[in-house]
Structure formats: structure tokens, C-alpha cells
Structure 1
Amino acid sequence: MSPPSGIDAQFFPESVTQIFCWHQGALGDLLLAGPALTAVSQHYPEARFIGVGKPALWDLLAGTLPLESIWEGGEAVWSGLFQEQGGFSSLLKERLTGIDLALVFSPRERPGFLARLVEGGIRHAVWIPSFPAGGSEHVTAIQARRLRELGIAASPGPFRLRLEPEAEELTGFRPTDRILALAPGSGGPAKNWPLSRYYEVARALAWEAGLKVVWLAGPAEERILSYIQGLAAAQGQKVWANQPLSRVARLLARVQVYLGGDSGLTHLAAAAGTPRVVALFGPTDPRVWAPLGEQITVLTPPEGAGPQRSLEKLSTAAVLAEIRRFL
């Protein structure tokens, strides 16, 4: 049985006014898709986007992409898309009917899912890889190549969010303060630099450079949050825990230096325009996953990054030396 017309066509349709974008990834994954989404938006300047995934993440893009709606990707209404056959609920048909184009970001191509989108009423549906199949090519380059194959001019590069400035009284910092933001956690403990070394960096730079320090923590850091709070309290420093990402982004646009690992917050700092982002990579490959931009510095253990490489071998002295270059 041949797939419905409109699935993964060899080119994008000429006229598009509404784009359904399915992206269920985490914060860093969505921000890494930013250049691809921007390229599609520039190709179809009149089109409006519907973001489907994690609403708190898609909200960050509201000032950057022409977002018409944001829908929760975990809703039961989408279950009909995962069935090989059968009807669609009236709500699902209502949501899909008349949409010109669907972009489906996923690690592997899912022809059945694309077919169901078209059967449900979307005119064209294409797959964009969200995860490399192997090798060391950056994920933004992989996505750009995929778009070029389909007729859209795209190139890998940095992604910048358009943000409203955060009022100084809301950040708790004065306009003259020079701020260091620390984000010691991530989605995987193996990707974390030892917490004690973040403390050493904070202590040294607060003392010698007069930097104000703010520690950032989210749900992934719940297990170590009490330790972070204790380290910050010992030095009279601030902790921002479980704050709305839009507010964190505006803070990161205000700070001078950011230090963190391979995490969504590191990608957020890069996208928010933090003047200097120092990203620590151990078991994951920065050639594939690091944020892009002239303000980004990637540090790895002495032997480089790799699946078995531990950030414990990256010294405090090496990190301090890199940050001091920009103070």
C-alpha cells in the first residue's frame, strides 16, 4: 500500500500559511532545532506555527517564531496518530484539518506517523531528524541538510531568542552588578562536573573579581538542591530554583558569564545571548551537541570528550583560567 500523497515529498509546498510542528524533545533539543525552525519561517514568512510538545519550552519561542498556538504533546487526543489504522476523534480531525505542513522532529523517521497526519487532514508532512544516526556532525548541520534536500535554504549556526528585558527589581540585581550564573545539574549525573568545584569557582570569582553569583536549579536538580542551597548560603549567594524558563532566560541575557555542563540551561544561556558561556562536556560529544556561537567556550577533560570520559578529570584551575580570560 503506497503512502498518502503529501508524505515526505521531495520538496515543500509552494504556499503555506499554517505549520504544525511536532517536537517532544527536552529544552536543549528544542533550542538546537531553532535554526531549522527559523529557516522554515523565513521560507514561509506569512506562515504561523503550531508548536506541539512541552508548552513551557515552546513558550520560550513565542517572541522568536510566529506562534499561533501551543499544544501539549502528551494529551490523549494525539493517540490516534500512533495507530496504524482506524478513525480519528472529532477533536483531532478539527485540529489537523486544513493545516498546510507538518514538521515532525524525531530521532528516527516514522512513516506511519507521517501517514496518519496526512490522513487526519494535514496536506504535507515531513520528517526532520532530531538525533544523529552516528558520527560527529553537529545536529544543526544534519537538520539543515535535511531542509536543503527538501528545497529550503538552511545552514547550521547559532540560534538567538528574542526576549523582553527583565526588570532589575525582578532579578534582584543592581544594574551595575557583574553576574556569574552557575548551572551545576543536567538530565544525567554522568554529565555533571563535581558540585564542590562549582563552589570553588564561585568563591574565587566572587572574591577576586567581585562577581555576584546566582545558582540555577530545576526539577532535574531536586536531589542535589539542598546541597546547592547550602553552598550558596555559605557565601551569601542567590539560588534560582524551579523558576519559569522565560524568567531564567531573561536573567541569562543579563549575566556576564555562565558556567554549566551539557544541559538545557547551557543551550538557553547561548540562545539568550549571555556574553560568555563556558560549557563543560565529558561523556557527550560537543561536536554534535554543543551550543553554537562565538561566545561559547567548550571545555573537556584533558583526554577530550567521549562516552567513558569523566568530568572529574577537569580541574577547577582549568575552568577558572578560562573564565578569567574574559573578566
Structure 2
Amino acid sequence: MPTNSASSAALPPPSAVRGLLVWHQGALGDLLLAGPAFQALRRRYSRSRLAAVGHPGRWALYAPTLGLDEIYDGGDALWGALYTGDGPLPPALAERLAGVDLALIFTPREDPAFLARMGESDRRAALWAPSFPETGSESVAALQARRLALLGLPYVPAPLRLTLDAAAQAEARALLAGDGPWLAVAPGSGNPLKNWPLSHYFEVSRALAWEFKLSVVWCAGPAEHAWLPYLAGLAAAQGHVLAAGFPLPILAALLSRCRLYLGGDSGLTHLAAAAGAGRVLALFGPTSPAVWAPLGDRVTVLQAPCELAPCAMGRQITCDRARCLEALPAETVYEAARTLLKRG
């Protein structure tokens, strides 16, 4: 089954797909934003073997939810032959793809040469879907739903809710064994221009913990490595918990136990929403929540008070500092969080 152009492509019927491969090498937030698309594909191909290619630690979050049979590291040199157009595929790669009848490639732009290499088989279809919009104000979920509808799979995007790993849930219970309820605070992101001042996070979390008798867990990912000594000292001094360096399934289970999550436009904010945190308060500055915010009625977005916000062009943030988020008062965030906590 040869690969088709974007305009004429169509998904094969479920009966023709023994093996489905989904390729998505995006960051954590991008991967979770694609959840509704992944679930729509899984519903259509419910009896197919499902393999994922990308960051194994991130894709592990989907293993129970999608029933993944294989997770392959997208950084493996084996995949390199897909980026060249010379000669047949290496035997090891051809063997890995032997059972794949359909490959869905999620990337920012369509790459016809890559799709042609992936589809080098009489029966394998290789089709493209956008991993995120490079321009415009359409949400990631809507963009992907529109693309899959063109391929013959109409669906209405619904908020992603991950099925949590049982062992990870047990570890999370042990980590948060103290008195609750819990407030999760994730001050970082992959771009410092998307970060609300750390001092404001501390001020708001301290006030909320006192008023609502909350225990606090600070969450940090690889991007916050430089902050870890400070966060560790802060957590120790205040009797808080620091969750840093945990596998994502454990972090998801931990966030699911929190009454409120407070963070910015980051992968951890998407994880909190998908894991089922009681309430999620997401602080947005230069990026557009219409495009990048998690779906769901338990997610509340505060946009920084700047007449230019959101100002990012796609993923490009041109500001030299986070002026918009610096202008978001701690009192405003505190009052929004109080309102959410009172709702329960």
C-alpha cells in the first residue's frame, strides 16, 4: 500500500491493519496534547498491535491508556535510514517494520521523502499529521482532529485522562504519605520566558498552605536542574516535599493525588490535567492558551495582564524577558487559587 499525498490520503480499514505505528518525538506537553488523536486512532484500530516511536520515558505514560505493545526510542540510530533516500532499508529496520501496516507520523511539517521511506512496502501506508501548529490560533487538538477527519477519522477531541500505572500509584501513595490535602507547585518550563517569578510561587503556596491546611509538593523536571538546590532547601525548611527526577508515570500518579496544581505553560501542567489533579491553575504569558492549554473544565487559565500577550509566533518567543508574567500579581493568582479550592 503506497504512501499517498496529504490531499488524497485515506486511513485503511481496521481489517487491513495488523500493526499500527505512531511516531511522535515531541516534548511532554506536545505529546499529551496529542492524546485525543492517539485515542481516536486506538479506538479505530482497537485490535491492531500498537507501537510508539519517540521518547520512551514520555511514551510510558500512554502504555496503560492505549495498550501499547512496543515503545521504541526515536533517538535510536536504527531510524536514521528513514532520513535518507538511498537503497533499501537496512535489514534490522525492515524487520522492525515488517508487521506495520500503517504508520502515523506526527511532526510539525510534512516530509514527503520521509513518508516515502517509511512506506517502502507493498502494503504499508505512511501518513502525516501535525504535531502542533506553526502559526495561527487553532488549538493543537482541533488541528489534529481536522487532519484526521480529512484522512477519514472524524471525532470530537475530549480532555485526555490517563490510566495510571498501579505500581506508580503505590509509589505515589508512599511519597505523599503525610497529611494532605496536597498542593502541587511546578514553577518551571522548557523556556524561562514562560516562567512566573519563583518568589511569587513561594508567596502564593505559603499563603494557600496556611489558609487551607495544605501540604505542598514542589515538582521539577530536567529544565529546572539549576533550581534544584534552592528548591531542596526551600522544601526542607518549610516541611514540603520535592519531587524531582521521578519517572513520569510516578509523577503522574503523584499529581493525581493533589487537590490543586499550580504551574505555567509546561509539560507538567499538561501532565497534571491528564493525570486527574483536582484542579489545575495554569499561568500563561507570551504563549496562547487557545493553542497550548490543556483541555477540560477542571483547568483554569490566567493570562498575564499585557496588551501584547499572547505575543509568541507559533513557538517563537521574541521577548528579551518575561515582562508579561512579571506583571501578573501574586494576589491575582492567590485569589484565583482560593476560588478553586473553595469549589472543591
Taking structure 1 as the reference length, the TM-score comes to: 0.95
Please, which of 2, 6, 15 is the counterpart of residue 5 of structure 1?
2
Match of 2:78 in 1: 77
Deviation at 1:261, TM superposition (A): 0.7
> 1:223, CA displacement in angstroms?
1.1
Aligned to 1:306: 311
Q: Go from structure 1 to structure 2 and tell me whether the alpha carbon gap of 1:23 and 1:173 turns closer, same or farther (over 3 Å shift).
A: same
1:88–1:120 Cα contact (<8 Å) kept: no
Distance 1:269 1:120 in 2: 40
**More displaced stretch, 103-112 vs 300-309:** 300-309
Provide closer, same or farther for how the CA distance between residues 79 and 164 of structure 1 changes in structure 2, counting only shifts above 3 A.
Answer: closer
Pair 1:272-2:252 in alignment:
no
Q: Give the residue type in structure 1 aligned to 2:4.
A: I
CA distance in 2, matches of 1:178, 1:58: 29
- Compare 142-151 and 90-99 and name the one that shifted more: 90-99
- For residue 294 of structure 2, the aligned residue among 287, 291, 296 is 291
Q: Match of 2:137, SS?
A: coil
User: Which amino acid in the other structure matches residue 305 of structure 1?
Assistant: P
Q: Which amino acid aligns with 1:6?
A: T
Q: Which moved more, 1:219-228 or 1:119-128?
A: 119-128
Cα shift at 1:235: 1.3
Deviation string 1:169-202 (CA, Å, 9 cap, x unpaired) is 522324x611000001110111111000111011
Deviation at 1:249, TM superposition (A): 0.3
Q: Which residue of 1 aligns with 2:189?
A: 186
Output the CA distance in 2 between the equivalents of 1:64 and 1:275: 20
Tell me if the contact between 1:158 and 1:292 (Cα under 8 Å) persists in the aligned partners.
yes
Letter in 2 for 1:316: A
Equivalent pair of 2:217/2:240 in contact (CA under 8 Å): yes
Residue in 2 that maps onto 1:317: 331
Give the conservation status (yes or no) of the 8 Å contact 1:277–1:297.
yes
Query: Which residue number corresponds to residue 256 of structure 1?
Result: 259
Residues 254-286 of structure 1 deviation map (CA, whole Å, 9 limit, x = unaligned): 110000111110000000011100011111111
Q: Is the 8 A contact 1:81 1:117 kept in 2?
A: yes
Q: Is the 8 A contact 1:129 1:143 kept in 2?
A: yes
Contact kept? 1:93, 1:120, Cα under 8 Å: no
- The 3-state SS of whatever aligns with 1:190 is helix
SS of equivalent residue, structure 1 residue 38: helix
Could you tell me which amino acid in structure 2 is paired with residue 295 of structure 1?
A: R
What's 1:215 paired with?
218
1:173 aligns with 2:177: yes
Q: Which amino acid aligns with 1:17?
A: R
Q: How do 1:204-243 residues align onto structure 2 when only pairs under 5 Å count?
A: 204-243=207-246
Per-residue deviation at 1:6?
3.0
91-100 vs 188-197, which moves further: 91-100
Q: CA RMSD in A?
A: 1.6
Identity within the alignment, %: 53
Q: CA deviation at 1:36?
A: 0.3
1:52-201 correspondence to structure 2 within 5 Å: 52-119=53-120, 123-164=124-165, 166-167=169-170, 169-174=173-178, 177-201=180-204
* Gap regions ≥5 residues in structure 2: 313-318
Per the alignment, in what secondary structure is the counterpart of residue 46 of structure 2? coil
2:326 aligned partner, one-letter code: E
Residues 305 and 86 of structure 1, relative CA distance in 2, 3 Å threshold: same
Query: What amino acid is the match of 1:171?
Result: L
**Cα shift at 1:164:** 3.5
The 1:212/1:125 distance shift into structure 2, 3 A limit, reads same
Distance 1:148 1:184 in 2: 37
> Structure 1 66/196 Cα, relative in aligned 2: closer, same or farther at 3 Å?
same
CA distance in 1, matches of 2:137, 2:160: 20
AA aligned opposite 2:204: V
CA separation in 2, counterparts of 1:274 and 1:178? 12
Q: Give the TM-score of the pair, scaled to structure 2.
A: 0.90
CA distance in 2 between partners of 1:77 and 1:18 (Å): 19
Distance (Å, rounded) in 1 between the aligned partners of 2:28 and 2:70: 18
Per the TM alignment, residue 121 of structure 1 is displaced from its structure 2 partner at its CA by: 6.7
Aligned length: 323
User: 4+ residue runs of structure 1 moved beyond 4 angstroms?
Assistant: none
Following TM superposition, by how much is the alpha carbon of 1:122 offset from its aligned partner in structure 2, in angstroms?
6.0
